[in-house]
Amino acid sequence: MVSEVLRTYGTLFVSRRNDYAVQQADGRYRRAGHKLTYALLQAHLDGLHTLGTYVIDEQGCCRFAVFDDDGEGVTLADRLARLLNVQRRLLGDGLPSLLEPSRRGGHLWVLADRRVPASHLRRVLLPYCPAGVEFFPKQDEGGGYGSLIRLPLGVHQRSGRRYGFVRWDESQGRLVAIARDVAGTLAWLSTVERAALPALSPTPAGDSPTLPQRHTQIVSKNPFIAAPTLAPATPSIRVWSASRDPVAVIGRYVPLDARGLGCCPFGEHHRNGKDSHPSFRVYRPRGDGLSCWYCYTWGKGGTLFDFFCVWHNITPRELWRRILAGEQF
């Protein structure tokens, strides 16, 4: 039976599940070419091997982003200080993050509150990235496997060390460890707050998309985040669905051609976890119906509301709650 702490670890730090990489003695990685299991994750935490995870999953989505500072020309302390500055800026905009030292610098993890397309994550977070710092994912969706990052808490094969998460302690004026060991860190990870990313939607030139209502008091320096406006009351799911153009809305998440065809984003229903031949069609509802998308391979489709339930892997009740709270879809 998989422990709850291991399940949480996998949920936070693993996006692509049908492949991974193994770190070699020189610090490089070798692609495994098969499914990443909980047993492999446990062996990573036990120090039996060290794994790297691909930031973008099979459907072009991400569970996290990472600011990676191991650049040349500055000291290790300078690199961590630079990431601390990014962390403070993020937190000022209501976006928590986790700082992890590395062999040559550090990784700053932003754990998203939901799976989002890589392009969405890049658009929101890339403006925070200073010169000399790498940002993962480096690619938008559709770019193949994309970026690879070492999974936290494993033993770095080149240095032989583990690098746990740290925080800045004001009273001591220095970075201190979150926990003494892996078990303590895993327990702490079950309590961390994930970043509630703003929903990006088409807006007139010069306007900015809005954040959920919980960020009302935040003044953001990110050009893609603005103080939110309260969403008007929505009388029903049907009215909400009927008031939106599904081709335009779904087209922000799935690349579509002029006929509304694209590769199905729900890869788990396709061979090898990916729709390699466009089998997903989006169309405007006909008559009184609200169905607007269909996957010919999967044999299923539905309304715009159904699409977001499947996209975010949440219940209709939870999606409706988020819509009424002002989140834009």
pLDDT of 90 > 70? The answer is: yes
Instruction: Find the distance separating the first CA and the last CA of the chain, reported in whole Å.
Output: 36
Query: How far is it, in rounded angstroms, from Cα 101 to Cα 166?
Result: 8
Query: In whole angstroms, how far apart are CA 292 and each of 40, 53, 153, 240?
Result: 40, 35, 44, 14
CATH T-level fold of 231-324: DNA Primase; Chain A (3.90.580)
Flag whether pLDDT at 327 surpasses 60: yes
CB 147 within 8 A of CB 138: yes
Q: Candidates 3.40.50, 3.10.20, 3.90.920, 3.40.1130; correct CATH number of 4-189?
A: 3.90.920
Confidence category of residue 73, pLDDT binned at 50, 70, 90: low
Q: Is the pTM for the entire model greater than 0.85?
A: no
Q: How far apart are alpha carbons 214 and 208 in whole angstroms?
A: 17
Residue % of the chain over a pLDDT of 70: 88
Under 8 Å between Cβ of 30 and 22 = yes
- Domain spans in the chain, listed from the N-terminal domain onward: 4-189, 231-324
Amino acid letter, 311: W
The sign of the torsion formed by the CA atoms of 169, 174, 175, 180 equals negative
The per-residue pLDDT for range 124-180, each reduced to its tens digit, is 998 898 878 899 998 888 767 888 999 999 999 989 999 999 999 888 888 999 999
Q: DSSP letter string over 204-228? A: -TT---B--GGGTT----STT-B--
Closest by CA to 116, choosing from 51, 56, 167, 203, is 56
- 31 by DSSP, 3-state: which? strand
| pLDDT of residue 210 exceeding 50 | no
| Stronger pLDDT, 226 or 5, i.e. the higher one | 5
